[in-house]
Amino acid sequence: MRYCINCCIHLLPNDLHRQCFRCRGPDHNNQKCPVCRGENKIPLYTDRKQMKWLAVLEVRTDHCESWNGFFCLRKGKLCSLMFGLIIMTLVMVSYMLTGAKHGLLLIPSPFHYGAFASNPSLMDNESLSDVKDYYQPSKMNISYVKDYPSIKLIIDTITSKIEFITRQRPDLEELRKQEPHMFSVIPNKFLPNSKNPCWYEEYRGNTTADPYATNSYALYSKRFRIIFDYLRKVFWNHLYHYKDKHYRLRCLPHFYIIGQPKCGTTDLYDRLRLHPDVRFSAIKEPHWWTRKRFGIIRLRDGFHDRYPVEDYLDLFDLAAHQIQSVLQSDAVKEHGKRNNIIIGEASASTMWDNNAWIFFYDNSTEGEPPFLIQDFIHAFQPNAKLIIMLRDPVERLYSDYLYFASANKSAEDFHEKVAESLQLFEGCVLDFSLRACVYNNTLNNAMPVRLQVGLYVVYLLDWLTVFNKDQILVLRLEDHASNMRYTMHMVFQFLDLGPLSEKQEALITKSPASNTRRPEDRSLGPMLPTTKAILRDFYRPFNTKLAQVLFDDAFLWKRT
């Protein structure tokens, strides 16, 4: 144990003992003190053992003095904290009183758009999420619009701005200027002895080269490499040899399932491909017309290298090989019969997704896209057939939310996202045309839920500006679910497919439904009744116009 010689205060290890008043005192002089000068070394007994104690004996601070300082410190902090709380309370009360007086607490802040032109500083490799941040609406508290009457005022404003104006169709030369390479690859005439649009293209590669080495679908997706590995093995067996040259058969789809998402397109695709005369692309949803040809792999990843049209045509090589086998058969060569195999493509984005136009095409008046997907498809395939599967847009939106939302899914969260999206849409239609808002990339990425996908009639009217009405078959998912045999017969008749045996028909119509709602999503239950009423009001004028265009009141969805 260690003790101070003068005051006998207990010392801790390494205690400097400089605060001992009795040892130093107020008049202590370091020069005169023999202890401080190192003279007169004082023996000190510690644990009964004699030792030499040198230098300065310094005493630990007295306990009562330490506690007094501690309490003083605590008292000072407490006073500062109380003072700060009082100031914060006064500021908040002042803000609340002033805000209530001037209406600042209940500001309905709809998102009003400025110019729709893309940011000139935006590079192609920036992600679409960056674009969203560039034109991000201000954060708002939407709790005040949860009640039906408040949101009904927003919907009334949107309804008052709805105008269905026919768009101007671009001429062929304008389309050629936009996509010269595409027009150089796809011919304007196809083989006369094939029901499906196909043509022969000279192959200039050597026998050791990999014909799919640069295919973007194979490079960017591991899922499709197995398909392309098989195509590589059989590629050389399907080349057509004529006058010391090699030719490969190229094909485009005869029909397209163009929409809409969460409306049963996957189920229709799975049943149609069971028909012996129907083939599909190697990938169900290539999304080439809407995304890949612009370099969009995933919306959240932004832009990559653009997929050339050759990469898209490669997806139909499996079907082209089978068509070529039919074309080279004796029945076709000698008896003048033609190939009846047809190819389909089923990207559910084709009908509505024109979000990329603003980055590649010059802006038109009023912020509307000068070119749409259907303009280019019609330029190459004026006789193409289109199948559209629709669903009650209210239920479609909720299903879309459950499928794509990643976390915190609930009926309440869906309600808030609907309310915010309606405010954003209102802000747009107050300044721009309906078409400009529906096709605007910035607005569509800003809305928490995809309201615009359910505006079926807006898209359908634009497709009808280039295709005849008898080239488009519009189905309802509700009819397909209740009487699948009837809807499949409508599709077979529309595509002019041959008859089926009872066994083949049973296989197609009695298979289990595809892409149904996940069990974890079913447990969340239906949307709130208030949310459903709000969406009914929003979609009503669009459904009414759709029923008029199709001459079918079933598209009013009154009973669902």
Q: What is the chain's alpha carbon radius of gyration, rounded to the nearest angstrom?
A: 38
pLDDT band at 43 (very low <50, low <70, confident <90, very high): very low
User: Residue 202: enclosing H or E segment and its boundaries?
Assistant: strand 198-203
CA distance to 91, 401, 427, 429, per residue, from 140 (Å) = 21, 21, 14, 19
Q: How confident is the model at residue 34 (pLDDT cuts 50, 70, 90)?
A: low
pTM for the whole structure: 0.74
Tell me the C-alpha distance between 22 and 151, whole Å. 81
| Average pLDDT rounded to a whole number, residues 428-453 | 93
Local confidence band at 74 (pLDDT 50, 70, 90 cut-offs): low
Q: Which residues contact residue 322 at a Cβ distance below 8 angstroms, ignoring those fewer than 6 apart?
A: 279, 341
Of 54, 50, 202, 150, the C-alpha closest to 420 is: 150
Return the residue matching tokens 């009973």. 559
Determine which helix (DSSP H) or strand (DSSP E) holds 79, and give its type and residue range. helix 63-102
At residue 53, φ and ψ (nearest 5 deg) are -110, 110
CB 329 within 8 A of CB 266: no
Nearest to 557 by CA among 478, 482, 487: 478
Is residue 311 a contact partner of residue 216, using CB atoms and an 8 Å limit? yes
Q: Where are the beta strands (DSSP E) in 252-357?
A: 255-259, 278-280, 342-345
User: How many CB atoms lie under 10 A from the CB of residue 470?
Assistant: 8
| pLDDT per residue as tens digits for the range 356-382 | 888 888 766 678 899 999 999 999 999
The residue count of the chain comes to 560
CA atoms within 13 A on the CB side of 342: 17
Q: Which range is least confidently modeled, 90-94, 249-253, 369-373?
A: 90-94
Locate all alpha helices (DSSP H) within 236-295, ordered by sequence. Answer: 265-272
Whole-angstrom Cα distance, residue 123 to residue 6? Answer: 81
pLDDT digits (tens, 9 = 90+) for 329-345: 866 666 668 889 999 99
Give the N- to C-terminal CA distance of the chain in Å, as an integer. Answer: 90
Q: Which residues contact 310 (CB under 8 A, 6 or more apart)?
A: 185, 215
Task: Return the C-alpha torsion angle 528, 532, 534, 535, nearest 10.
Answer: 130
Query: Average pLDDT in the 158-182 region?
Result: 94
What band does 252 get if pLDDT is binned at 50, 70 and 90? very high
List the structure tokens of 39: 């003279």
Judge whether 356 and 319 are in contact, CB under 8 Å: no
Distance of CA 110 to the CA centre of its chain: 22
How far, in Å, CA of 420 to CA of 418, rounded?
5
Q: Give 500-522 pLDDT, tens digit per residue.
A: 999 999 999 887 777 666 666 67
Tokens 């041959």 sit on residue: 498
Specify the pLDDT at position 518.
Answer: 67
DSSP-derived secondary structure for 526-539: SPPHHHHHHHHHHH
> What pLDDT score does 104 carry?
34
| Burial tier of 219 (Cβ tally within 10 Å: 0-12, 13-18, 19+) | middle
* 486 — pLDDT class (breaks 50, 70, 90): very high
Kindly state the average pLDDT of the residues 34-63: 43
| Statement: residue 528 has pLDDT above 50 | yes
**pLDDT: is 547 or 223 the higher one?**
547
Provide mean pLDDT across the span 215-223: 85
What does the pLDDT average to over 156-166?
95
